[in-house]
């Protein structure tokens, strides 16, 4: 088995979640790498959409921003942010990848501040399109390292809605029925959300880790699937594609 790093296994796992013919709204970095890998493996007809307006491009290499000219290369449409957000709100986008400084047990994300909003310890860029993507895309996925600082009992600021307070609270808020957080992919495990409570639960453990490792690196109690799966390690071909064709300059996967 080839050696791989934390970023590479997260990208490979995320790519496997994207089925052929689906639509996915991505940003740059790891989500883009995952979408590109999916296109080169199991989902050649995956429709990639960028927030700045690139729809179904043929990406020649890793773009450095959502407005990079490469996100429009041989695209089906060179649209605008308005076109992308309209597509989301009309229910045309299956998946989105989001992230943040904090995530709680219901998949709510904070990318605004750490500490009190009026006098924060740290201020982040804020929502951008994340609130819209999380509100209207059918399945939200998150790729993030596993640690206690990110996985917190309560986010300091709710930038992006997950399952809100759990249960049926998201549906009661008026957001589209059937939309919401889907999978959380970390360097240790894969999590989904228990159907009734909407609490985060571990469903698969990556090679070299245990449920105890995952729990010790989380700031709240995780649920546990009745049968935990073992996450398959990245294949030699997945790693070759990542390292040689998708991110040869190691912008995302690192040295």
What confidence score (pLDDT) does residue 2 get?
Answer: 80
Q: Is residue 115 predicted with pLDDT exceeding 90?
A: yes
What confidence score (pLDDT) does residue 48 get?
Answer: 96
Q: Which residues contact 126 (CB under 8 A, 6 or more apart)?
A: 111, 112, 159
Q: What's the mean pLDDT in 197-212?
A: 98
Q: What percent of the chain has pLDDT over 90?
A: 93
State the chain's mean pLDDT as an integer.
Answer: 95
Which string of b and e fits 213-246 if b means at least 16 CB within 10 Å? ebbebbbbebeeeeebeebebbeeebbebbeeeb
Q: Which residues contact 181 (CB under 8 A, 6 or more apart)?
A: 106, 107, 134, 139, 140, 141, 142, 162, 163, 193
What confidence score (pLDDT) does residue 145 get?
Answer: 96
Q: What's the mean pLDDT in 183-208?
A: 98
Q: What's the mean pLDDT in 34-46?
A: 96
What confidence score (pLDDT) does residue 28 get?
Answer: 85
What confidence score (pLDDT) does residue 128 get?
Answer: 86
Confidence of residue 200 (pLDDT cuts 50, 70, 90): very high
- pTM beyond 0.75: the answer is yes
Q: What's the mean pLDDT in 43-50?
A: 96
What confidence score (pLDDT) does residue 1 get?
Answer: 57
How far apart (Å, rounded) are the C-alpha atoms in residues 52 and 70?
12
| pLDDT tens digits along 64-97 | 888 899 999 999 999 999 999 999 999 999 999 9
Assign domain 6-246 to a CATH class. alpha beta
What is the pairing mode between strands 109-110 and 113-115? unpaired
Q: What's the mean pLDDT in 24-30?
A: 91
Report the alpha-carbon angle 163-164-165, nearest 5: 105
Q: What's the mean pLDDT in 169-195?
A: 97
How far apart (Å, rounded) are the C-alpha atoms in residues 248 and 246?
6
What confidence score (pLDDT) does residue 67 get?
Answer: 87
What confidence score (pLDDT) does residue 25 get?
Answer: 95
Q: Is residue 254 predicted with pLDDT exceeding 80?
A: yes
| Residues tagged active-site | 51
What confidence score (pLDDT) does residue 129 get?
Answer: 87
Higher-pLDDT residue of 169, 2: 169
């Amino acid at each position: 088995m080839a050696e791989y790093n934390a970023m590479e296994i997260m990208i490979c796992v995320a790519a496997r979640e994207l089925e052929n013919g689906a639509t996915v709204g991505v940003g740059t970095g790891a989500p883009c790498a995952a979408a590109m890998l999916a296109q080169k493996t199991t989902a050649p007809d995956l429709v990639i959409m960028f927030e700045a307006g690139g729809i179904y491009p043929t990406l020649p290499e890793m773009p450095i921003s959502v407005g990079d000219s490469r996100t429009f290369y041989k695209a089906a449409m060179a649209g605008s942010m308005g076109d992308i957000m309209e597509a989301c709100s009309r229910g045309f986008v299956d998946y989105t990848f989001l992230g943040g400084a904090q995530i709680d047990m219901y998949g709510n994300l904070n990318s605004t501040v750490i500490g009190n909003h009026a006098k924060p310890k740290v201020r982040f860029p804020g929502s951008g399109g994340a609130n819209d993507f999380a509100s209207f895309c059918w399945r939200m996925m998150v790729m993030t390292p596993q640690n206690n600082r990110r996985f917190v009992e309560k986010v300091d600021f709710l930038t992006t809605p997950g399952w809100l307070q759990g249960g049926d609270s998201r549906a009661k808020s008026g957001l589209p029925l059937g939309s919401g957080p889907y999978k959380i992919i970390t360097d240790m495990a894969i999590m989904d959300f228990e159907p009734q409570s909407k609490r985060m639960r571990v469903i698969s453990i990556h090679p070299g880790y245990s449920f105890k490792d995952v729990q010790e690196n989380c700031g709240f109690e995780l649920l546990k699937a009745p049968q935990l799966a073992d996450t398959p390690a990245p294949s030699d071909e997945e790693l070759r594609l990542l390292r040689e064709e998708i991110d040869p300059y190691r912008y995302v996967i690192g040295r």
